[in-house]
Amino acid sequence: MATARKRSGFQNHLRAYNCNQNCYIPPLPPLPPVPPCSITYINLSDIATYNSNTNRWVLNNNTTITSCQVLIIPNDPTLQAILQINGLELVNNGVIYSQSIDDPTNVVGIEIFNNGSLINNNIFKLGNTDFGIDTNGQFINNGYFSHRTYFYIQSSGKVENYGRFINRGYLDIMVNSTFNNYGIIETIYISNSNLIIKCDGGTLINHVNGKIYNSTDSTIYNVNNGMIINEGYFENNGIINNADGTSSCGTATITGIISGNPPGNSCP
């Protein structure tokens, strides 16, 4: 009686390979849909500690606000809404609001002193507030950032915008600081507001794919050895004044082509 021959491992693999090439294999079932997450509201006290000596909130640890979280700035008149980031990192993948959720007309102010790293990947809306990048601090915006009062960048501070940066207030790029724009900067005029971008000894670089739109009635001042370098698209429908050395605000430099209204040369 003949004995059955065992099929080698190679033959088994070859048979499986041939079947993969010539046989019908039913498709895998679709993955189940990812259920939407429920929104969680967190308070500043959940990520920071209030220092009664300095009257500031201090970030506790490196912190990420997830896509399902909304950070609410405290509406407490007894506590100053000032957040200090000391060499740490705050990443926003969700929403940061400085307005009351129950009453959106109730604008709450927060001032941020950032000498660490603040990264916005989604929505960051500031109301009646100041926003400061301290010495050696940085702010990276990959999402939507909007502010309405005073945004300043101190010496050696850096801002990199890859998303949409909405300036409804006063942006001050101070000595030795840098604002790199790879996305969109818009100045949006609000009636009765003093809407200014001031390059005060710092450098504003609009890179190749960057876009800057200066709206009607909005003013950009370039003073005190400031530099505006335009390598992308820059549309000026308002006023740009570039110091020419004939007054107390020194000299400044603009390079690249700006469409719309040509720059003037008066001081703030």
Kindly state the greatest CA–CA separation across the chain: 113
- Answer yes or no: is 163 within a domain: no
Residue 15 confidence (pLDDT) = 47
210 domain-assigned: yes
Shared domain for 183 and 220, answered yes or no, is: yes
Spatial distance between the Cα atoms of 68 and 85, rounded to a whole number of angstroms: 23
Residue 156 lies inside a defined structural domain of this protein: no
Q: What's the mean pLDDT in 142-156?
A: 86
d(CA 221, CA 172): 10
- Residue 196, amino acid: I
Please answer whether residues 72 and 41 qualify as being in contact, where contact means their C-beta atoms are separated by less than 8 angstroms: yes
Taking only the tens place, the pLDDT of each residue in 33-83 is 656 778 898 888 899 999 988 888 899 999 999 988 988 776 666 666 778
Whether 23 is in a domain gets the answer no
**Do 137 and 180 lie in a common domain?**
no
Distance between the two ends of the chain, CA-based, in angstroms?
A: 107
Q: What is the pLDDT of residues 158-171, one digit of tens each?
A: 999 999 999 888 89
Those residues whose C-beta lies under 8 Å from the C-beta of residue 166, and which sit 6 or more positions away, are 144, 145, 146, 147, 186, 188
Residues 205 and 142 occupy one common structural domain? no
Taking the C-alpha atoms of residue 34 and residue 32, their distance in angstroms, rounded to an integer, is: 6
Whether residues 213 and 248 fall in one domain: yes
Tally the domains of the chain: 2
**Residues 141, 186: one domain?**
no
Let me know if residue 166 belongs to a domain: no
pTM of the model: 0.77
Domain boundary at 133, 148, 163, which? Answer: 148
Which range marks the domain in which residue 144 is found?
Answer: 37-148
On whether residue 30 sits in a domain, the answer given is: no
